[in-house]
Amino acid sequence: MREKAEQGHYPSVAPRGYRNNPETKLIELGSSTGLLVKRLFEWYATGNYSLQAVCGLAHREGLRARSGGKLHKSAIEAILKNPLYYGAFEWAGMLYSGTHEPIVSKDLWDRTQQAFAKSNRPKQTKRDFPFIGMLTCAFCGCAITAEMKKGKYIYYHCTGNHGPCPKPAIRQETLEEKLGEALKGIRIDDSILEWMVQALKESHRDEKAYHESAISSLQVQYNKLQNRIDQAYTDKLDGKIPEEVVLRMIEEWRKEQTQLLAQIRCHQAANQNYLEEGIKLLELANRAYVLYQSQPASEKARLLKIIQSNCTWDGVTPRPEYRKPFDLLAKGLSSKDWLPGQDSNLRPIG
């Protein structure tokens, strides 16, 4: 079984999301279950869900324990901390690079572990005010803070750190409405949106060629190491090299292979995400205000943080500083002032 592990084959019962192939004696993806497992990582990596909440979501989506009941949160945690899902696995106290197809990227797995680290920090006793840290007073430059009044109403006001500020406090519900108004200016005409999506698809060809070239080069290095490992096994069986020497060399080569696989998967993910994320960004820009209106306060704040870096508040009107590329979109792209071909220096988003 150790020999099998050293060859990159998981030598035990397939974990959830995979199945054991009786013909090849290897593990392989388990169709829809694998997609559900990937969702667990995506949910928890956001930092917006507890393990208990992920258990509920998993059950709602149809992921069950072997008994047919609800998965316990300890089972969910075991899945989310298992390196096998990004392509490696632990066996007999050692980490091996697997030959099986991963369910998640190494980046997503790392972000999930970071979410665990954050969840283990001491809990804050301060109330959660979603728009804290997003607003600056337009008159004195102080931060805008919040407080609870009468046990249920949240009011935002200047901290007054530079002296008393004359601007009155504002209820969170009113502030939400005002901040939403700033999103109305982010809009792309349908004709421009269609052209930008097409331009993004065209530029994706160059991006795809770059990643494929990088993957090919990394694969050559990976194969060279695999040839060394195979030859080392042969030399060990022939008695040419002591077993302890072979195992030490193979361990080093496996580490190098793990690093190469991580780089390959990063390029593969980037190749897929370049077009997908670019189109999502354009669609977000076009539907920002509609999305904002339908969300709870915490999600509204999260959406605003994606779109703007800071916002000054004069008590009446918010003046946001938009992140790229929303700063360009907020200026009002229309077929009248920006058409394809008018300016050769303009580049599609991506």
Q: What is the pLDDT of residues 15-30, one digit of tens each?
A: 888 988 888 889 888 7
Dmax over CA atoms of the chain, in Å, equals 87
What mean pLDDT do residues 213-234 have? 88
How do residues 60-114 score in pLDDT, each as one tens digit? 888 888 777 888 889 999 999 999 999 888 887 788 888 898 999 998 999 999 9
Q: Is 80 exceeded by the pLDDT of residue 256? A: yes
What mean pLDDT do residues 170-178 have? 91
How do residues 304-319 score in pLDDT, each as one tens digit? 887 788 889 888 888 8
Q: What pLDDT sits at residue 92?
A: 79
Does 260 or 345 have the greater pLDDT score? Answer: 260
Q: What pLDDT sits at residue 156?
A: 92
Q: Is 90 exceeded by the pLDDT of residue 338? A: no
Predicted TM-score (pTM) of this structure: 0.43
Lowest mean pLDDT among 132-146, 154-168, 257-271: 257-271
Q: What pLDDT sits at residue 205?
A: 67
How do residues 37-49 score in pLDDT, each as one tens digit? 998 999 899 887 8
Q: What pLDDT sits at residue 60?
A: 82
Which residue spans of the chain are classified as CATH 3.90.1750.20? 1-123
Q: What pLDDT sits at residue 275?
A: 56
H-helix segments, the chain: 2-6, 32-45, 51-61, 73-80, 106-119, 172-181, 190-237, 243-293, 297-307, 326-330
Structure tokens at 180: 């939403």
Q: At what angle do helices 243-293 and 106-119 cross, to 10 degrees?
A: 70
Least Cα distance to 75 among 2, 163, 16 occurs for 16
Q: Is 90 exceeded by the pLDDT of residue 299? A: no
Q: How confident is the model at residue 343 (pLDDT cuts 50, 70, 90)?
A: very low
Mean pLDDT of the chain: 79
- Domain 1-123 in CATH 3.90.1750.20? The answer is yes
Q: What pLDDT sits at residue 336?
A: 44
Q: Is 70 exceeded by the pLDDT of residue 124? A: no
Does 161 or 342 have the greater pLDDT score? Answer: 161
What mean pLDDT do residues 257-264 have? 84
Instruction: Classify each residue of 5-43 as buried b or exposed e, where b means 16 or more C-beta atoms within 10 Å of its C-beta.
Output: bbbbbbbeebbbbbbeeeeeebbebbeebbebbbebbeb
What mean pLDDT do residues 149-175 have? 87
Least Cα distance to 109 among 16, 42, 54 occurs for 42
What mean pLDDT do residues 321-336 have? 62
What mean pLDDT do residues 3-25 have? 87
Least Cα distance to 264 among 84, 87, 43, 6 occurs for 87
Q: Is 60 exceeded by the pLDDT of residue 271? A: no
Please give, one letter per residue, the 3-state secondary structure of 157-181: EECCCCCCCCCCCEEHHHHHHHHHH
Lowest mean pLDDT among 151-160, 282-291, 341-350: 341-350
